[in-house]
Chains A and B, each alone.
Chain A
Amino acid sequence: MWVFIALAVLTIIEYFAGIYVQSPVLLFILALIKAALIVQFFMHIYRLWREEGSHA
């Protein structure tokens, strides 16, 4: 749940940063952080390197 909250907060920050700060670098960094959170915690990329093949 905390990952979802973090993503929601980052999206709101992104929205206001896009309107008021207008820094492409900042927006790209925010997008990278969001993508990393999804890939790690929602997509479970770490399971790729596991020896045993289980879902959990």
Chain B
Amino acid sequence: MVSHSRTPLRAHQLRSLNQPRPVTVRCDQKGFPLALWQRGAFCRIRQIKDRWRLDDEWWRRPICRLYYLVELEDGTVETIYCDLMIKKWYRQRESMRTYGGQRVR
């Protein structure tokens, strides 16, 4: 058995990276994103390039997210997700290819 090193964990010194940031999204009736609020105005979404779902931690505080990889009108590509538990939108850097979420048809 490995003995306890007695070094304090200092968890308060940890700053999580890639935290999701809230974003305002205009959606259609089916819940698909249409426009994204950025720099003081809504920017239309030209194309939804990819969509996947992430479900995890059902045993404690369930995480249920629907990610969208969208191409905006100005040509930029963003990853946004809808937290299905609280129905709020967030922006976060992520790729389905990297961590294999479940593709949604």
Q: Do A and B bind each other?
A: no
* Chain B contact residues, CB within 8 Å of chain A: none
* Chain A contact residues, CB within 8 Å of chain B: none
